Amino acid sequence: MNAHNLLQTPIDYLKGVGPNRADLLRKELGIHTYQDLIHLFPNRYLDKTRYYKLKDLQQNSAEVQIIGKIVHLKTVEQKRGKRLVADFIDETGKMELVWFRGQKWVRESIRLNTPYVIFGKVNWFNGSFSMPHPEMELLEEHEKSLRTAMQPIYPSTDKLSKAGITNRVINKLMQQLFIETGGKFYDTLSEEIKAELKLISRAKALFNIHFPESAELLSRAQFRLKFEELYYIQLQLLVKNMLQKKRIKGFIFEQIGNNFSEFYKEHLPFNLTGAQKRVIKEIRSDLGSGAQMNRLLQGDVGSGKTIVALMSMLIALDNGFQACLMAPTEILSVQHYQGLVELCKELELSIFILTGSTKTSKRREIHEKLENGEIDILIGTHALLEDKVKFKNLGLAIIDEQHRFGVAQRAKLWKKNVLPPHILVMTATPIPRTLAMSLYGDLDVSVIDELPPGRQEIKTVHRYDSNRLKVFKFLRDEIAKGRQVYIVYPLIQESATMDYKDLMDGYESVVREFPMPDFQISIVHGQMKPADKDYEMERFVKGETQIMVATTVIEVGVNVPNASVMIIESAERFGLSQLHQLRGRVGRGAEQSYCILMTGHKLSEDAKTRLQTMVGTSDGFEIAEVDLKLRGPGDLMGTQQSGVLNLKIADIVKDSQILQSARYYAKQTLTKDPELKAPENKMINFTFLQLRTNKNIWNYIS
């Protein structure tokens, strides 16, 4: 029986498991077969095989031991309580040991300038290593005791520990597994990839991830297994994209007709930027290729995605098709509608809008005109997905802010036609490249990365509450120039009453500083009736009020070109992407705009990083990268999509370099051999086919 088939054996049959243990391993860790067990990777390692010199420390997840002396102790005040910090040296360097608890005992028991053996996990931060709460033993004591090799520490749960399935037991089972399989695992990558990246064999990687022979081999084993996991995920996404292009035929838009040409030559409100021209070219080539377009268009707030969307729709109309644009909220739909009607006023087009609040009689008219082809462009919310909405021939569907629509909703748009329409997905939420590669790896991505001419960069500053009077004076000066101002308060859902109080206190202090009749102030918050909100918004849009005090209702899509100052109160309570979106509400006119981040003096490290990032850059992608590092992938995309990234060993934030390399090699493989039929790709093809039947990437790579 070969090792591959052996790995499909139920875990119950492994010597030392038995029915009770098997049951617990299945329930607690999802381990059903030998294969699942071999892919239970350790979280970390205890390395008691060697003594490290400080200059030889590696940035990996191993715990290490070091011989050296403590030469100095000090107490450092921090936000909550204090920490005890020791300078620890050996003949090659120096690092800090840190204690947050039990400081009195440590202080009293430590002997300065005496050789110790310390053991623990080192953290790498700002260019130096430190070790929190090390285990410590005097060297002379240590030399009397017994020592063991580098030990893997496996993921576990309370139930397992209670049932006596300790780390030692799992380690024993793992040894048994290697004995029964003889440690023979076939390789899953081509010789070429292994040679180019100097990868160790799969069998050697699996052995060293569980029983590391050295720190270096452990690092190489981790690299090999991370690369493999990411390579196959990218291969899947790229194949899905290729098949889509092959299998899903799209309408061929060959004509560039009157609508497009006339608009381009005579009605463009401003010259297109290089980035816009590039993106339109990419879209045109998709639309003429005979395959269905599936493109993601990323562009920061205000980068001019609407013009690109309109010009794509005009191509569809020139070829005798209809187009639609779907947005997540009514306010945004209305704004798109007004924007497009204004842009197309010289063209003879019929543009309609359909939302939840469209009256029944109007609905009927729209349904009828849509089916007999009298409507060219339909804009709307989820209402477009209703079964009653039937197009005569929908050629292009544009979806704004994709992450608010599920995949199932996208599929509904497809069903409105014999052939699926071309799809363009737009987002102003910059998605870091690493995440885009994993979440939207099956879409082609276009990026608009320059702002239209005449747009000035928004000046962003951070001010403490104690500077409030200066900030108010600045506002008076701006209002005197005829500008308008937003003041935004955070919304912390847990306590609506507290939010409301914060907002009202803030509102009252603004009213005191900016009294009537010289100043008019609008207020908008979550507890108002929609009609009242709209009325207040309307006054601000028309310029009847100079200041808009609001909770984050205004985050999405309100366009007031005359508003030039955005003040964000308690800015430390906002996430980075939210701060960036709010800042994008100003700077829409030709005047210099400002974003002022107000905070108290007490700030967490994360909050400081967020504020520094905002002040330092207005590049949405750079901001998204920082956000991803701070929050992790699941949070950033909302939990519904983090399932895609259920990774066993790789981490798409920390291993972004490996991810880019994996995508590059997956592309290379498919470019040279799209069917994976070449003899050198035999194992890749076998693994890939297994992967498609077994959803979990590790179920078959053995």
Domains and CATH numbers, the chain: 44-152 (2.40.50.140), 258-287+304-427 (3.40.50.300), 459-617 (3.40.50.300)
pLDDT in tens, 493-519: 555 666 677 788 888 989 999 998 899
The pLDDT of 454-464, averaged and rounded, is 88
| pLDDT score, position 161 | 84
pLDDT range class, residue 282, cuts 50, 70, 90? very high
Q: What contacts 109, CB < 8 A, 6 or more positions away?
A: none
Residue type present at position 245: K
For residue 639, the model assigns a pLDDT of 36
Residue 207: what pLDDT? 93
* The pLDDT of residue 176: 92
Is residue 645 within 8 A of residue 427, CB to CB? The reply is no
Residues 6+ apart with CB under 8 A from 538: none
Which one, of 225, 66, 40, lies nearest residue 131 by Cα? 66
Q: Is residue 388's pLDDT more than 90? A: no
How buried is 179 (Cβ within 10 angstroms: 0-12 exposed, 13-18 middle, 19+ buried)? exposed
When pLDDT is averaged across residues 393-422 and rounded to a whole number, the result is 74
Q: What is the rounded CA–CA span in Å between residue 305 and residue 307?
A: 6
Tell me: pLDDT of 485 over 70: yes
- Among the residue ranges 290-294, 512-516, 574-578, 628-632, the one predicted with the least confidence is 628-632
In angstroms, how far apart are the furthest CA atoms of the chain?
Answer: 92
Question: Considering just the CA atoms, what is the radius of gyration of the chain in Å?
Answer: 31
Q: Are 677 and 189 in contact (CB under 8 A)?
A: no
Structure token digits, residue 423: 């799809």
Whether residue 302 is predicted with pLDDT greater than 60 in this model: the reply is yes
Calpha distance 507→502 (Å, rounded): 8
The answer to whether the beta carbons of residues 68 and 54 sit under 8 Å apart is yes
pLDDT attached to residue 45: 85
DSSP state of 487: E
Dist. CA 143–CA 392, nearest whole Å: 85
Query: Crossing angle for the helix pair 202-210 and 167-181, nearest 10 degrees?
Result: 150
Task: Label residue 298 by pLDDT band (50, 70, 90).
Answer: confident
Taking residues 624-652, report their average pLDDT.
63
**Partners of 72 in the β-ladder:** 87
> Model pTM?
0.65
Q: How far apart are the first and last CA of the chain?
A: 14
Residue 643 pLDDT > 50: no
- Count of alpha carbons within 13 angstroms of residue 488, beta-carbon side: 26
521 closest CA partner among 549, 493, 500, 502 = 549
CB 362 within 8 A of CB 352: no
Q: Please, which pLDDT band fits residue 695 given cuts at 50, 70 and 90?
A: low
Higher per-residue pLDDT: 463 or 689: 463
- pLDDT value at residue 641: 39
| Residue of 588, 314, 561 lying closest to 451 (CA atoms) | 588
Query: What is the per-residue pLDDT for 586?
Result: 87
Question: What number is the average pLDDT over the span 582-587?
Answer: 85
The helix or strand, by DSSP H or E, that contains position 548, with its residue range, turns out to be: strand 547-550
Peptide bond into 530 cis (omega under 30): no
Q: How many residues does the chain have?
A: 702
pLDDT for res 496: 62
- Mean pLDDT on 281-301: 88
Say which residue, 577 or 145, is predicted with more confidence: 577
Cα(673)–Cα(242) distance, integer angstroms: 12
307-365 confidence digits (pLDDT tens): 999 999 999 999 999 999 998 888 788 888 988 999 999 898 999 999 988 899 999 99
Across 236-240, 482-486, 511-515, 556-560, least confident range: 556-560
Q: Mean pLDDT across the chain, nearest whole number? A: 85
Q: How many other C-beta atoms can be found within 10 angstroms of the C-beta atom of residue 650?
A: 23
Asked if the model's pLDDT at residue 700 lies above 70, the reply is no
- Specify whether the CB–CB gap between 487 and 503 falls below 8 A: no
Residue 69 phi, psi dihedral angles, 5° rounding: -125, 155
The rounded distance, in Å, linking the Cα atoms of 512 and 507 is 9
pLDDT of 693 over the 60 cut: yes
Report whether pLDDT(620) > 70.
yes
Q: Is 74 left (phi over 0), alpha (psi -120 to 50) or beta?
A: beta
Residue 252 three-state SS: coil
- What are phi and psi for residue 457, nearest 5 degrees? -70, 140
- The residue with greater pLDDT, 641 or 442, is 442
Range with lowest mean pLDDT among 10-24, 102-116, 620-634, 658-672: 620-634
